[in-house]
Chain A
Amino acid sequence: MIALTFRNPATLPILASIMLTLLCLISLGVGAGGTSLADLWHASGDTEILAISRLPRTLAAVLAGAGLAIAGLIMQAIARNRFVEPATAGTAQSAELGILLVTILWPAAALGWKALAASLAAVTGTALFLMTAHRLPATQPYLVPLFGLVYGGVIGAAATFIAWQTDLLQYLSVWSNGDFSGVLRGRYELLWLGAILVAVAWLIADRLTIMALGRETSIGLGIDYARMLQIGLVIIAVISAVTVVVIGIIPFVGLVVPNLVSRLMGDNMRATLPATALSGAILVLGCDILGRLIRFPYEIPVGTVMGVVGAILFLFLLFRRHTDA
């Protein structure tokens, strides 16, 4: 693993940028519409399909992937635990519950309002999780993710129960399993909010890194810990909520990407944040392309593909853990 260590902070982002560019080109060329990249190049194909469907879909995957990876990174820093992520520790489930409730109470609500309701629910759900996580004994690091799984499961179950009672189970499945096939121009732009929040995270990267060293070190270095906790919470919750509203839950991205990048580059977010965002985008876009190709011309939702790919990556991380210096 030592040979794989990217101590030059520029190496990984450059490699990742090249790979992401390639994937974007592939993504623009793949689809049931039968228009290939070569056709698009010669302008003989249907360029409309590019502007309306494939470009938005590609951008959506990049934005969602980058956002989810950063949300995971921040959540792990704040919870001081490498095994939590918004998709399993109750953030995404709370967002889901929020959309469900607003759909029941105000069925005609526009996407923006649904996103707002989802964000508020996600902030509340995540705050409760973090408050509890900070109370769990630091000597038992596996308690935090375990609690997160149970907590997320309970909120998810509550959402399922309400959806079942109100005949909205089919709606719920749209949010609980991420899928890019519904992305069209005009229906994904909320995801740019995630990009703005990633930029905010970049601005406060030093403070987030110090926060991962704990409350006392943070205060000792003059950081307003409570305020930073609130900012981090909002970033995690809004990125997750917007993704759930537009795409649905995509598991594992927030878990495996920050861990992989940390293995290669360490924990200084000023250095790792770009690589984490790029890697998240690569993983999600790659899984979406895979989902489009496996049963071409039919599609497998990205949430399902990620469930398999993410689990394999996570197992890889676990088994490499002890051989790592």
Chain B
Amino acid sequence: MIRIEQVSLQYGAAEILKNVSLTIPKGGVTALIGPNGAGKSSLLSLISRLQSLQAGSITIDDLPVDTTPSREMAKKIAILRQDNQVGSRLTVKELVGFGRFPHNRGHVTQADADMVGEALKLFDLTDLAGRFLETLSGGQRQRALVAMAFCQDTDYLLLDEPLNNLDMYFSRELMRLLRWIADERGKTIVTVLHDINYGGGFSDRIIAMKHGQVVADGPPRELVTTETLRLIYGFDIPVTLIDGQPVALPFTK
């Protein structure tokens, strides 16, 4: 369980997070939505200790994120960040293999190699395994980075806009995979999404943030309504039900 208690964050005069408290139980897919600058990425950075806490506390399975040794945390939680400008001449396979580093500290075992092979297959990267990252397209690189986070094999997996650069096919594939990882492997997934319909289709719970605060929180069918979306985004979005799934349609002029 991820327990966030009264977390605030400030940069100078700008308040990024205001007294946020949340608990995310083990298991399932949680989508984090909200307008740009709502504080979603900052919250993810704090949970994954990339940024240090200013006020409040965050624990993962009762381990405080700011005082638990980073090496231990790396076996608990993996994070995929938004910017992925990796101009590296590592191969896809080497990069995905580094996901095993928290476990093997550089001594690669057969089990590590098997896990890397599985990740390459799951994320449709087998054909690209020997390619240097700098030669890949944005979407291919994004998949390689998600595969690396998957290889870290942590109970908690945080993703900051994983659908960046992905086409419709791979967006759906990735969301299906995340669903599968949560259901079959018992992992807990928290992902920032911008397309609320992916949240509606694949998540168990949607948490909406605005101006550094949680403004709505609930299962997709309760949350994806014209009223709630107006509260979050500030304009009217028609919502229809298709096969029992709410679909937001912000496409009218």
Taking Cβ atoms with an 8 Å cutoff, the residues of A that contact B are 7, 138, 205-207, 209-210, 212-213, 215-217, 219-224, 262-263, 266-268, 270, 325
If A268-B94, A325-B135 touch, whether A221 touches B102 (CB-CB below 8 Å) is yes
Q: Which partner residue on chain B sits nearest A212 by CB separation?
A: B88
Interfacial chain A residues near B70, Cβ < 8 Å: 219, 222-224
Give the dominant DSSP class at B's interface.
mixed
B interface, size bucket: 20 to 34
Chain A residue at smallest Cβ distance from B105: A206
Query: CB-CB < 8 A to B152: which residues of A?
Result: 220-221
Picked from B48, B75, B78, B90, the residue with its CB within 8 Å of the CB of A268 is B90
Q: Once the chains are docked, how many angstroms separate the CA of A221 from the CA of B75?
A: 8
Chain A residue, CB-CB nearest to B69:
A222
With a cutoff of 8 Å between Cβ atoms, the chain A residues found around residue B130 in the complex are 7
For the A-B complex with A221-B98, A221-B99 known, give 4 more contacts whose Cβ atoms are closer than 8 Å.
A213-B88, A220-B50, A221-B102, A267-B89
Q: Which of B50, B89, B90 meets A219, CB within 8 Å?
A: B50
Most buried by B among A216, A220, A223, A268: A220
- Distance in angstroms from A289 CB to nearest chain B CB is 31
Give Cα distance in the complex from A97 to B73, angstroms: 43
Tell me which residues across on chain A come within 8 A of B50, comparing CB atoms. Answer: 215-216, 219-220
Q: Which 10 A-B pairs have the closest CB atoms?
A: A222-B74, A206-B106, A222-B71, A267-B89, A222-B102, A266-B89, A221-B101, A220-B79, A268-B94, A216-B50
What CA separation (Å) do A267 and B89 show in the bound complex?
5
Which of B78, B89, B94, B135 has a CB less than 8 Å from the CB of A262? B89
Specify the chain A residue showing the minimal Cβ separation from B91. Answer: A266
Within 8 Å by CB of B98, from A138, A210, A224, A266, lies A210
Sample of 23 A–B contacts (CB below 8 Å): A7-B130, A206-B101, A209-B98, A213-B88, A215-B50, A216-B81, A219-B50, A219-B70, A220-B48, A220-B74, A220-B79, A220-B152, A221-B101, A222-B73, A222-B75, A266-B89, A266-B91, A266-B94, A267-B88, A267-B89, A268-B91, A268-B94, A270-B106
Q: How far is the CB of A73 from chain B (nearest CB, A)?
A: 12
Chain A contacts for B73, CB-based, 8 A: 222
B residues contacting A by CB (< 8 A) are 48-50, 70-75, 78-79, 81, 85-86, 88-91, 94-95, 98-99, 101-102, 105-106, 130, 132, 135, 149, 152
Roughly how many angstroms separate A220 CA and B70 CA in the complex, as a whole number? 8
Name the distance in Å between A204's Cβ and chain B's nearest Cβ. 9
B89–A209 CB distance below 8 A: no
Interface pair B101/A222, CB less than 8 Å apart: yes
Q: Which residue of A lies closest to B49 (CB)?
A: A219
A84 to chain B, nearest CB (A): 14
- Report the separation of the CA atoms of residues A205 and B90 in the bound assembly, to the nearest whole angstrom: 13
Cα A87 to Cα B154 in complex, Å, equals 42
Smallest CB–CB gap between A174 and chain B, Å?
38
B90 close to A267 (CB less than 8 A):
yes
- Minimum CB–CB distance from B11 to chain A (whole Å) comes to 16
In the complex the two chains form, what is the Cα distance from A267 to B88 in whole Å? 7
Residues of A contacting B78 with CB < 8 Å? 220
Closest Cβ neighbor of B97 among chain A residues: A268
- Compute how far the CA of A212 lies from the CA of B85 in the bound complex, rounded to whole angstroms: 12
Task: Give Cα A182 to B152, complex, Å.
Answer: 53
Nearest residue (CB) in B for A266 is B89
* Cβ-closest chain B residue relative to A206: B106
How many angstroms from the CA of A210 to the CA of B101 in the assembled complex? 9
Chain B residue at smallest Cβ distance from A220: B79
Q: Which residue of A lies closest to B88 (CB)?
A: A267
Contacts of B98 in A (CB 8 A): 206, 209-210, 213, 221
Give min CB distance, B194 to chain A, whole Å: 20
Q: How close is B144's CB to chain A, nearest CB, in angstroms?
A: 12
| Contact residues in B for A223 (Cβ distance below 8 Å) | 70, 101
Residues of A within 8 A of B99 (CB): 221
B-side contacts of A212, CB under 8 Å: 88
The closest CB in chain B to the CB of A141 belongs to B87
Query: Are B90 and A209 neighbours in the complex by a CB distance under 8 Å?
Result: yes
Chain B residues within 8 Å of A205, by CB: 106
**Cβ A221 vs Cβ B88 within 8 A:** no
Min distance, Cβ A139 to any Cβ of chain B, angstroms: 9
Q: A270 — which chain B residues lie within 8 A by C-beta?
A: 106
Chain B residue at minimal CB-CB distance from A204: B106
Contact A213 B101 (CB under 8 A): no
Q: A235 CA to B105 CA in the complex, in Å?
A: 21
With a CB–CB cut-off of 8 A, which chain A residues contact B149?
220
Pair A266/B90 contact, Cβ less than 8 Å? yes
Q: Is the CB of A221 within 8 A of B135?
A: no
B65 to chain A minimum Cβ distance, whole angstroms, is 11
Q: Which residues of B contact A221 (CB under 8 A)?
A: 74, 98-99, 101-102, 152
* Choice from B71, B75, B85, B135 contacting A138 with Cβ under 8 Å: B85
Alpha-carbon separation in the docked complex, A263 to B135 (Å): 13
Q: Which of A209, A215, A222, A262 has the largest number of chain B CB atoms within 10 A?
A: A222
